[in-house]
Amino acid sequence: MSEQTTVSAEPMATEEPAAGPSPWSRLFLGGVGHNLGLVAVLALLAVVGVATADTFATTANLLTILTSASIIGVITVGATFVIIGGGIDLSVGKLMALASVWATTVATQSFGPWVMVLCALAVGAAGGLLNGLLIAYGRIVPFIVTLAMLISAQGLAERISGRRSQIVTDPTIAAIATTRLLGIPLLVYLFAAVVAIGWVVLNRTTFGRRTFAIGGNPEAARLAGLDVRRHTAALYVVSGLCCGVAAIMIASLTTTGSSTHGTLYELDAIAAVIIGGTLLSGGRGTLVGSILGVLVFTTITNLFVLNNLDTDVQNIAKGAIIVAAVLVQARARRSTP
């Protein structure tokens, strides 16, 4: 089901407004066509996978890929909103760590699973709101604000947890990662749900449309009567909320809340957004591209694990892919006047 959701989201993911005479031409020119390069890379990786490891094409392995994509995927949804809106959020990984720690203290856990979930979402949203207020109303550049948030969130998470991993004792939260519906892990459904909601908000609401406008030309958006500052602040709240969701997912998967969670997630998320075709300067991009970017990275990791290769080589490969993807996109853009 989750795979279907992702796939069926693609045809509609056209960011160019419906020009095509038929839905089919729209599918190819807009959604898939936009991300054709990434689909090709994924296909290539699949071929390499099948050729090098017998276990690659098994259902179990494909579900492993999706499960490990789910947490960074949820964070990437929030990062896509922020980047299309012309900003950047470096604090995502540590905001998630802070939310995981806060939601798994002995005190929070004593109130039960719902309070733990609410706590994680509230911590994420509050961190995002503070980012947003400082950027939009304090007029400090996003890079600096969210870098500061990354550092402080790390510190606060260490302070609350005493630098220890907090074990998740609540059975409901612990069960999220182990539950399967129709053979597919619940984490994958959560990931799919966040992507679906994100896609609808970005492409089918005034909020999404205004995000593109503000990222594309903030001055024009302001002079058209949009409340650019309030909207900018809201984008960081969206990113923070995604961190809150991811915090519950990672707490369940690792059965711990820890300040060491999410290290360098911000770079993975930004890299996925960029290779997904979103302009780092804002105003243009697709959520489907970002998700394909996450899947590319996760599949590479999977291939390296299956073939018992070192992570250092893996990182070199990831870096090369980022450069190659951006080169291809730049060339594609230049060919249109």
Partner 1 sequence: MTSLLTVRGIVKTFPGVRALDGVDLDVAEGEVHCLLGQNGAGKSTLIKVLAGAHQPDAGELTWAGRPVAFPSPHAADAAGIATIHQELDLVPGLSVAENVVLGHEPSRLGFTRLRDAEALTRGLLLRLGHPEIPPRREVGRLSAAGQQVVSVARALARRARLIVMDEPTAVLDPNEVRNLFRVVRELTAEGVSVVYISHRLEEIREIGDRVTVLKDGATVARDLPARTTPTAEVIRLMTGRPVEHAIPPPSAPPGDEVVLEVEDLAGADFRGVSFTVRAGEVVGLAGLVGSGRSEIVETVYGARRATAGTVRVRGRALRTGSVAAAVRAGMGLCPEERKSQGLLLHESVARNVSLPALGRFARAGFLGPDAESGAARAVMARLDVRPADPSRPVRTLSGGNQQKVVLARWLLHGGGVLLLDEPTRGVDVGARGEIYALIRQLAEQGVAVVVVSSEIPEVLGLADTVLVVREGRVVHTAPAAELDEGKVLDLVMGAAHV
**CB closer to partner 1 out of 159 and 230:** 230
Residue 89: which residues within 8 A CB-CB, separation 6 or more?
Answer: 78, 79, 82, 128, 131, 142, 146, 236, 239, 266
Q: Which stretch binds partner 1 (CB under 8 A): 10-18, 74-82, 156-164, 312-320?
A: 10-18
- Minimum CB distance to partner 1, residue 86 (Å): 12
Cα-based angle 254, 257, 263 (whole degrees, multiple of 5): 80
Provide, rounded to whole angstroms, the least separation between the CB of residue 170 and partner 1. 35
Q: Which stretch binds partner 1 (CB under 8 A): 16-24, 85-93, 137-145, 315-323?
A: 16-24
Q: Per CB under 8 A, does 22 bind partner 1?
A: no
Q: For the CB of residue 331, give the shortest distance to partner 1 in the complex, in Å.
A: 14
**Identified binder of partner 1 from the candidate list 50, 57, 144, 220, rule CB under 8 A:** 220
Q: Are 97 and 103 in contact (CB under 8 A)?
A: no
Q: Dmax of the chain from CA atoms?
A: 61
Is there binding between residue 204 and partner 1 (CB under 8 A)?
Answer: yes
- The reply to whether 210 sits near partner 1 by the rule CB under 8 A is yes
Scanning the structure block, which residue is given the tokens 């960011």? 15
Site for partner 1 in 253-292 (CB under 8 A): 283-284
The answer to the question of residue 86 lying near partner 1 (CB under 8 A) is no
User: Using the rule CB under 8 A, is 333 a contact of partner 1?
Assistant: no
Q: CB 203 → partner 1: shortest distance, Å?
A: 8
| Cα separation, 83 vs 55, whole angstroms | 37
All residues at 6 or more sequence positions from 150 whose CB lies less than 8 Å from its CB, including other chains: 90, 91, 93, 94, 95, 266
Is 278 within 8 Å of 86 (Cβ atoms)?
no
What is the CA 100 to chain-centroid distance, rounded?
17
Give whichever of 171 and 337 is closer to partner 1, judged by the CB atom: 337
Looking at beta carbons only, is 18 or 327 nearer to partner 1?
18
Residues ≥6 apart with Cβ < 8 Å to 252:
168, 173, 174, 175, 176, 177, 187
| Residue in 7, 18, 57, 181 binding partner 1, rule: CB under 8 A | 18
CB closer to partner 1 out of 196 and 222 = 222
Q: Would you count residue 28 as binding partner 1 (CB under 8 A)?
A: no
Two tokens, residue 295: 């899947």
12 touches partner 1 (CB under 8 A):
yes
Backbone φ and ψ for 141, nearest 5 degrees, come out as -65, 145
Residue among 1, 57, 151, 223 that touches partner 1 (CB under 8 A): 223
Quickly count: other Cβ atoms within 10 Å of residue 206's Cβ: 9
21 interacts with partner 1 by CB under 8 A: no
What is the binding site for partner 1 (CB under 8 A)?
A: 12, 16-19, 200, 204-207, 209-210, 212-213, 216-217, 219-227, 283-284, 335-337
